[in-house]
């Protein structure tokens, strides 16, 4: 299994509070992604990174920010959590050209509940 | 507007029979398609893929078929086993979008004993 960990695995927070989710990899993959999974929507890309300090927005980036100061860590921040951000968040990594084209390896997920 | 659609939220199949999961897409620029499998409380794991230059790819019990003219792909599992019970996601990508994956909503496959 690819070495990807996410922390915390579960979090309950209140509306308006800041939340940071962490993704840590030991594979030295260049690309890292944050997705959210909601019923009826599959996985939707929030932000991704293609290198240290290089990030870009995905399909559902509003209300989220990311940072990548080291190859191994990719942080997702909800500056002021809202109930609509209650979801399961997955981190993924990939190394273009090394594996099956487009293949991504996923972490175990973080279940976030915003009350 | 969903570019990748899995119209069956769930599918129930008898153990030992064939499972067929379907996926439709709208973007003709997609040139690579992947299937992922997901168990509860775990992240998705890669299962099988197919390039748009092919119409079939096999890996053991799993075969993916691609019909470009119909913008349709399907995953066949033969024979179905209890461990195949999971949610299956279809995903598509295009070279001009840096191979970012666009995901379907998933189909929950239940294998009955």
Q: Please give the Cα distance from A8 to A23 (Å, whole number).
A: 9
What DSSP character marks residue A94?
Answer: E
Which of A54, A95, A104, A109 has the most B C-beta neighbours within 10 Å, making it the best mutation to test the interface with B? A104
Q: How many CA atoms lie within 13 A of B37 on its CB side?
A: 15
| pLDDT value of residue A1 | 55
* Average confidence (pLDDT) over A72-88: 97
**Model confidence at A101: pLDDT above 70:** no
Average pLDDT over residues A53-67: 94
- Cα distance between residue B71 and residue B30, in whole Å: 10
Mean pLDDT by groups of 10 residues along chain B of 113 residues? 90 98 95 95 94 95 97 98 97 81 95 95
B104 contacts in A (CB within 8 Å)?
A: 42
CA dihedral A35, B75, B51, B34 (to 10 degrees): 10
Q: Give first-to-last CA distance, chain A, whole Å.
A: 34
A11-31: average pLDDT:
96
Do the Cβ atoms of A42 and B89 come closer than 8 Å? yes
* Structure confidence at residue A98 as a pLDDT band (50, 70, 90): low
The nearest alpha carbon in chain A to B3 belongs to: A41
Per-residue b or e along A90-107, where b marks 16 or more CB atoms closer than 10 Å to that residue's CB: bbbbbeeeeeebbbbbbb
Chain B residues at the A interface, defined by Cβ less than 8 Å, are: 4, 6, 9, 32, 34, 41-46, 49, 51, 89, 91, 93, 98-101, 103-106
Mean of all residue pLDDT scores within chain A: 93
pLDDT attached to residue B95:
77
User: Could you tell me which chain A residue has the CA closest to the CA of B88?
Assistant: A42
Residue B109, pLDDT score: 98
């Amino acid at each position: 299994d690819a070495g990807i960990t996410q922390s915390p695995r579960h979090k309950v927070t209140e509306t308006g509070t800041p939340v940071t989710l962490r993704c840590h990899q030991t594979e030295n993959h260049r690309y890292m992604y944050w997705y959210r999974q909601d019923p009826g929507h599959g996985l939707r890309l929030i932000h991704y990174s293609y290198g240290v300090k290089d990030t870009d927005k995905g399909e559902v980036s509003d209300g989220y920010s990311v940072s990548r100061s080291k190859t191994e860590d990719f942080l997702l921040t909800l500056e002021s959590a809202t109930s609509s951000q209650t979801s399961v968040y997955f981190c993924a990594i990939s190394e273009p050209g090394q594996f099956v084209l487009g293949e991504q390896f996923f972490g175990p997920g973080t279940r976030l509940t915003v009350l | 507007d969903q570019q990748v659609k899995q119209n069956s939220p769930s599918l129930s199949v008898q153990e030992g029979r064939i499972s067929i999961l379907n996926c439709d897409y709208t973007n003709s620029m997609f040139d690579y398609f992947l299937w992922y499998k997901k168990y509860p409380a775990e992240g998705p794991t890669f299962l099988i893929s197919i390039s748009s230059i092919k119409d079939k790819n096999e890996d053991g019990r799993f075969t993916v078929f691609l019909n470009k003219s119909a913008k349709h792909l399907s995953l066949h599992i033969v024979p179905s086993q209890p461990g195949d019970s999971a949610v299956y996601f279809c995903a598509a990508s295009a070279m001009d979008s840096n191979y970012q994956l666009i995901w379907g909503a998933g189909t929950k496959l239940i294998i009955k004993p």
